[in-house]
Amino acid sequence: MQGDIKMVKRYRFGSPIETEAVLHKPDITERECEWLKKSEDGFFCRLPQETIVYGLGESIRGINKRGWLYRSFCSDEPEHREDKQSLYGAHNFLLLSGDVYRKEDTEDALPEQKNIGFFFDTPGEIVFDIGYTKRDRMEITFSDFDLELYVMEGESPDEVVSAFRELIGRSYIPPKWAFGYGQSRWSYETADDVRKVAEEHKRLKLPLDSVYLDIAYMERYKDFTIDEKNFGDFDSLVKEMKENRIHLVPIIDAGVKIEEGYDVYEEGKEKGYFCKDENGEDFTVGVWPGKCHFPDMLNEEARHWFGDKYHLLTDRGIDGFWNDMNEPAIFYSEKHLKKVFDRIDELKKENLDVDTYFEMTGLVAGSSNNLEDHKSFYHQYSEMPGEDRIRHDKVHNLYGYYMTRAAAEAFEELVPEKRILLFSRASYIGMHRYGGIWQGDNMSWWSHLLLNIKMMPSLNMCGFLYTGADLGGFGADVTEDLLIRFLSFGIFTPLMRNHSALGTRRQELYLFEKKEEILGVLKMRYRLLPYLYSEFMKAALRGTMMFRPLGFVYREDRIARQTEDQLLLGEELMLAPVHEQNQGGRPVYLPERMKFLRFRKGELLEEEVLERGYTFVEMPLGDICIFLREGHKLPLAESASHRNFENTEDVDYDNLVFCEFGDEIPDYEYYSDDGETKEYSLEKNIRML
Amino acid sequence: MQGDIKMVKRYRFGSPIETEAVLHKPDITERECEWLKKSEDGFFCRLPQETIVYGLGESIRGINKRGWLYRSFCSDEPEHREDKQSLYGAHNFLLLSGDVYRKEDTEDALPEQKNIGFFFDTPGEIVFDIGYTKRDRMEITFSDFDLELYVMEGESPDEVVSAFRELIGRSYIPPKWAFGYGQSRWSYETADDVRKVAEEHKRLKLPLDSVYLDIAYMERYKDFTIDEKNFGDFDSLVKEMKENRIHLVPIIDAGVKIEEGYDVYEEGKEKGYFCKDENGEDFTVGVWPGKCHFPDMLNEEARHWFGDKYHLLTDRGIDGFWNDMNEPAIFYSEKHLKKVFDRIDELKKENLDVDTYFEMTGLVAGSSNNLEDHKSFYHQYSEMPGEDRIRHDKVHNLYGYYMTRAAAEAFEELVPEKRILLFSRASYIGMHRYGGIWQGDNMSWWSHLLLNIKMMPSLNMCGFLYTGADLGGFGADVTEDLLIRFLSFGIFTPLMRNHSALGTRRQELYLFEKKEEILGVLKMRYRLLPYLYSEFMKAALRGTMMFRPLGFVYREDRIARQTEDQLLLGEELMLAPVHEQNQGGRPVYLPERMKFLRFRKGELLEEEVLERGYTFVEMPLGDICIFLREGHKLPLAESASHRNFENTEDVDYDNLVFCEFGDEIPDYEYYSDDGETKEYSLEKNIRML
């Protein structure tokens, strides 16, 4: 896959702040970039009509990012609507595929067929206007026009991605058990709630590898504490779960509660490890625990101190974490809220008319996550030793990345031999080396199942391989059919977790009626594990993508290039999930002859060779439909009827069966390792099967 | 179309409140309904897997309503997200098509193939759980279990709809000019803003029939007033526009501003025509004008009084109106807001933690349109002469209907010969006789273009024929491609209006770059007008649907039954609009051989016979793609190249050209009339062409 990389060029603009996103830096090119014209505060270029703009990782909208304005600024955004501009990640990578003009081209020049990647490496805000203001123009503007720009060309989109991934280093690799099914809820309120999940899964023979602990497990939402009242027997809970081969995965939030006697707070305060306001006082915000300080994750010493705290949980047998609220999310700052209250007092005295009414509702609604707050606190950034302090908004996009790095670096010290599950909500490219991400607080919307599908390749390009959406949807109420369709795609994503929010309909699998269908879907996950793990590891170790848009492979096929609700998985498979309600099947576009495989209840039920073109495929709820490319084979764990999967440990990675399509099928490169240690060698761990 | 209606049965439960939705009432059946079991507060029945549930008019989600919970309660809902339950209309009609069980059937009974319509006639809240709680069960519950239930069976869905439409009477018919293109914005702030729209359309030869006036034309948002400062020369503006054959269409809001010296307020107060609070005082709410009273539209005398006020505008040459905020929307009530302020005062004194913070934000966000306010005021309902007063929530769904009826009844008195354009935001079935509706405050979302498509047949079933969405989307920022795709479907909807909200990107057509594409789309609207008007009038006069789901016609075709992003228009056409971004075409399902017609710049560019099945059809922006059914012909106004359409008056309804498909094509039943008077006779106005 590592193709003939023509070149990677590195340009510098202004005085960039180091992000440590890029590990392997070429020398800075003195010449100007051929493809982008400079404006006062950024770049612009022409966008010929058929050129696809891939990239931007975790973003709303399509695989082709054309036709919208995206703002790279990690955001606590619970409504992933089409008109939003930012989600939790800042993934400043674009890949133009198709006709491109050189910047000095005259209006009548002919464009060239190109695949060009751009990485805009800067920790501040960027606005990507990709054909929003004008359909055939891209404009990229920076709040601070200080950045390193990396430009890479390739013969194919895959080549560009490989070149980029080489720059930014190897993606995070989780333990193998983290590929099992995980059940989550905001929140399991007691240890018995957790036990109930494990028991119900066991009773119904629904496999389960992990249960997630959202904020309720903590004492008053204090990081690294356990609530004595409801989780008093935490150690026995961990032990019990371990006996059942179930991993508990607690959440860690960015904000540290201000509470006398709470050691993390007191130590951080004493050592000066919290972010400061303009007067040098610890900056105070309201988040889940109430009033909090933010550990200064950009300060190396503070970062090591915070990371080391994870030992309080690893020491108790915990081997997985999710880092949350680390954009960082701010419900309110003391300063801002005072302003809001004062203004409401004034308004109250007036004869409230409609303008003042909307002023009030606007003030209150705008009190969370506002830019004014982001401009009100400061970091001591270790990468800028000359600087006294740096204002948060200038390095905003690094916070979640450095929080997750804090944990990952600590694990290297605490448990160097062992892989720890770690993923984050906020991220920047570079963080992909330290942890995965989940796709944030989505909704139980059909359109978010589609968004989940479209995000996978975009994230893979940017190095985020261990990822998945909250299956079933986090906010809003799920329906059984939506949950099953979400699961039916989720069985292919490395992170396979069902998570839902306080106040919404519960979506634990055992609560639904059609248990046979759900069980059949889950069984397929476990049968697919040898293949999924193998594909994941090859993508991580080779710097390739696990999920690719059809246009990456069928580059001359106009229909394939614009098909966004089908994906390629590895070299072998095409997926075409149902993502609309009341659809018992869907039209599938076959860019080449493929073998259609239908699995029901974990067993192969039907196979049929389908010709190139559109075919309507019946896909009743519970069926898993896979399209196998010609000349390939799909390894599967032994049939579920022979073996009951309780969790990943029950999967036999050595005795595989194969679905095949073609006359002369080359061997499948099968990667397999112990899944726990860090002996990742491709040479040692690949077998040809 | 009027088929062999097996029967319509009428059942009574409790003590129903008359809604005047049904004009032609059969006698009440003493037997029990065969299909629905009674629960304590409603009905339930089994839903076999393949049975489609059509209906519910203006609602979110699909044409098949299965898999969600809908609440029939007219709502000022600016976010038409998938997880919402109510929009502006209350359209309590369901049509079950497919397998149905009789209620006394045992578990192992075989279902029967049926098409059954249900109209639940009650003005209060209804919850339709259509396979939400359990996938194979429908449950309908009533806040007040008092209703008339009408049940109708037919050999086909069309027959059921015809039977229903016969019950509820003929749909509203607008003047012919109301089928032209209309431009709107919240708000054109001055008369010159309006002139600018007209001029720019003229300059670019973009046809235009109407300009809409949103709330800014009024003096301090007072109904039936004109702002002297910005619209001081209103009469000359109307005159000028008339000379340019452009109609001004002002908005009328439900709330009447409390202001001394404002005659509508003073008269209403003096005569006791406003809704009262529990103490018999005029109920006060905050809406656009600030503090307001609601005219009691249910009180016949008050209704006539309010309706008569429209003469203040018709006298000045206005012949079109849109009624808004008539769910009725309530930003706040004085009483409720006081509570909110008092609680905020208390919270402020506390050491605000995260719970109290969310209590505050919740209180403020919940101050609009809350049920407590709806339970705090009263009507004198003329249909309940025995009752002293009735609490609003019991008759909530009638308010917008009766406001629009007020206007329509007044027009019958004021200008009996003339058709007046009238449409409303809120509605109930029955209102379809008095006006159309627009599809409310949608967003510039691609998913709302799809929602627009899906709503058309659902609304048509319920008698709402004059309807359309805010093209381009009301809230959020539009992109040029979304606008063009919205227009490309909007040219087929009777109401074709571009409308957008304060604070969003402007979306007047002349502001975009690709004017050729936009002009080409608009020209097609005017070429289609003879056909669209003819189809509209036949649907109105015969009680049929203009837009039908594919499943209505291709009833045995499983793919057609579940295809929801294609529609049939009349007997002749199938539409398959592009509704996703960056799609230069789309797969189209042809349930039978059809002739594909491609129009560009208003001219037929290509025609091709396509066989049954899926075909990918290229549909670049600006092209209008139509599928003509075999054995049919499509009449079009003379080619746009021969004739420049400035507006509907330039369309020659007599000299038509035809696109045809088939060997022996029966004549097209062409309806045409003067478009202004009420001489609607089918016999007189239909010609066979």
Nearest CB to B67 within list A361, A479, A562: A479
Contacts of A132 in chain B (CB under 8 A): 477, 479
| pLDDT classification of A108: cutoffs 50, 70, 90 | confident
CB within 8 Å: B564 and A580: yes
Give pLDDT, residue A3. Answer: 39
| pLDDT classification of A642: cutoffs 50, 70, 90 | low
Asked if A8 and A28 touch (Cβ cutoff 8 Å), the reply is no
CB within 8 Å: A587 and B614: yes
pLDDT tens-digit map of A401-444: 999 999 999 999 999 999 999 999 999 999 999 999 999 999 99
Mean pLDDT, residues B283-311 taken together? 96
Give pLDDT, residue B643. Answer: 63
| CATH 2.60.40.4040 domain span(s) along chain A | 531-688
User: How far does the CA of residue A347 sit from the closest CA of chain B (Å)?
Assistant: 10
Interface of B with A in 633-672 (CB under 8 A): none
CB within 8 Å: B82 and A446: yes
| pLDDT classification of B641: cutoffs 50, 70, 90 | low
pLDDT tens-digit map of B522-543: 999 999 999 999 999 999 999 9
Euclidean distance between CA atoms A343 and B246, whole angstroms: 46
Contacts of B85 in chain A (CB under 8 A): none
CB within 8 Å: B289 and A446: no
Say whether pLDDT at A6 is over 70. Answer: no
| pLDDT classification of A2: cutoffs 50, 70, 90 | very low
Q: Tell me how far CA of residue A273 lies from CA of A19, A260, A378, in angstroms.
A: 20, 16, 11
Nearest CB to A445 within list B83, B286, B481: B83
| pLDDT classification of B367: cutoffs 50, 70, 90 | confident
Question: Which residues neighbour A199 within 8 Å (Cβ) at sequence distance 6 or greater?
Answer: none
- Which of A296-310, B304-318, B385-399, B584-598 is predicted with the least confidence, judged by mean pLDDT? B385-399
CB within 8 Å: B584 and A564: no
CB within 8 Å: B287 and A581: no
Q: From A514, which residue of chain B is nearest by alpha-carbon distance? A: B135
Interface of A with B in 601-620 (CB under 8 A): 613-616
CB within 8 Å: B83 and A477: yes
CB within 8 Å: A559 and B616: yes
CB within 8 Å: A476 and B559: no
CB within 8 Å: A83 and B582: no
Euclidean distance between CA atoms B528 and B551, whole angstroms: 25
Mean pLDDT, residues B29-41 taken together? 94
Closest-CA residue to B94 (of B51, B30, B31): B51
Euclidean distance between CA atoms B319 and A632, whole angstroms: 69
Percent of residues, chain B, with pLDDT higher than 90: 90
Q: Is A557 on the interface with B (CB under 8 A)?
A: no
Say whether pLDDT at B640 is over 80. Answer: no
Three-state DSSP state, A478: coil
User: How far does the CA of residue B88 sit from the closest CA of chain A (Å)?
Assistant: 21
Mean pLDDT for chain A?
A: 95
| CATH 2.60.40.1760 domain span(s) along chain A | 5-168
Contacts of A617 in chain B (CB under 8 A): none
Mean pLDDT, residues A667-681 taken together? 96
Alpha carbon dihedral B30, B31, B34, B39, in 10-degree steps, equals 80
DSSP letter for each residue of B83-130:
T----SEE--EEEEEEEE--TT--TTPPPEEEEEEEEEE-SS-EEEEE
Q: From B132, which residue of chain A is nearest by alpha-carbon distance? A: A479
Say whether pLDDT at A205 is over 70. Answer: yes
Residue B125's identity, in one-letter code, is E
User: How far does the CA of residue B259 sit from the closest CA of chain A (Å)?
Assistant: 13
Closest-CA residue to B72 (of B57, B86, B51): B86
Give pLDDT, residue A103. Answer: 87
The Cβ of residue B601 has, within 10 Å, a number of other Cβ atoms equal to 17
Q: Is A551 on the interface with B (CB under 8 A)?
A: no
Q: Is there a cis peptide before residue A187, judged by omega within 30 degrees of 0?
A: yes
Rg (CA), chain B: 25
Instruction: Name residue, tokens 């809120």.
Output: B426
Mean pLDDT, residues A11-40 taken together? 95
Tokens of A494: 């490395």
Q: Tell me how far CA of residue A105 lies from CA of A40, A48, A49, A99, in angstroms.
A: 20, 13, 16, 13
Nearest CB to A614 within list B291, B444, B587: B587
Which of B82, B138, B610 should one mutate to test binding to chain A, selecting the residue with the greatest count of A CBs within 10 A?
A: B82
pLDDT tens-digit map of B197-245: 999 999 999 999 999 999 999 999 999 999 999 999 999 999 999 999 9
Give pLDDT, residue B174. Answer: 98
Say whether pLDDT at B6 is over 60. Answer: no
Mean pLDDT for chain B?
A: 95
DSSP letter for each residue of B420-489:
-EEEESSEETTGGGT-EEE--S-BS-HHHHHHHHHHHHHHHHTT--SEE-EET-SBS---HHHHHHHHHH
Contacts of B339 in chain A (CB under 8 A): none
Say whether pLDDT at B616 is over 60. Answer: yes
Nearest CB to A132 within list B479, B587, B616: B479
Asked if B297 and B383 touch (Cβ cutoff 8 Å), the reply is no
CB within 8 Å: B480 and A135: yes
Euclidean distance between CA atoms A166 and A543, whole angstroms: 7
Q: Treating both helix axes as pointing N-terminal to C-terminal, what angle do A354-365 and A334-349 enclose, rounded to 10 degrees?
A: 170
Q: Is A361 on the interface with B (CB under 8 A)?
A: yes
pLDDT tens-digit map of B668-681: 999 999 999 999 99
Mean pLDDT, residues A546-570 taken together? 98
Euclidean distance between CA atoms A235 and B523, whole angstroms: 73
Contacts of A562 in chain B (CB under 8 A): 582-585
CB within 8 Å: B286 and A354: yes
Nearest CB to A357 within list B286, B361, B481: B286
Say whether pLDDT at B2 is over 70. Answer: no
pLDDT tens-digit map of A378-401: 999 988 877 889 999 999 999 999
Interface of B with A in 575-594 (CB under 8 A): 580-585, 587, 589
Q: Is A252 on the interface with B (CB under 8 A)?
A: no
Give pLDDT, residue A385. Answer: 77
Say whether pLDDT at B384 is over 90. Answer: no
Torsions phi, psi for B588 (to 5 deg): -120, 135
Contacts of A290 in chain B (CB under 8 A): 353-354
> Which strand (E) or helix (H) includes residue B332?
strand B332-333
Interface of B with A in 91-150 (CB under 8 A): 131-132, 134-135
Whether this prediction's pTM lies above 0.80 is answered by: yes
Q: From A61, which residue of chain B is nearest by alpha-carbon distance? A: B581
Contacts of B337 in chain A (CB under 8 A): 352, 357
CB within 8 Å: A62 and B581: yes
Which of A364, A518, A563 should one mutate to test binding to chain B, selecting the residue with the greatest count of B CBs within 10 A?
A: A364
Give pLDDT, residue B3. Answer: 39
Nearest CB to A134 within list B477, B513, B562: B513
Closest-CA residue to B132 (of B65, B50, B73): B65
Euclidean distance between CA atoms A364 and B343, whole angstroms: 14
Percent of residues, chain B, with pLDDT higher than 70: 98
Say whether pLDDT at B1 is over 70. Answer: no
Q: From A79, which residue of chain B is nearest by alpha-carbon distance? A: B81
CATH topology of domain A5-168: Immunoglobulin-like (2.60.40)
Instruction: Specify whether domain B531-688 bears CATH 2.60.40.4040.
Output: yes
User: How far does the CA of residue A275 sit from the closest CA of chain B (Å)?
Assistant: 20
Say whether pLDDT at B544 is over 70. Answer: yes
Q: Is B479 on the interface with A (CB under 8 A)?
A: yes
- Which of A546-550, B76-80, B380-384, B546-550 is predicted with the least confidence, judged by mean pLDDT? B380-384
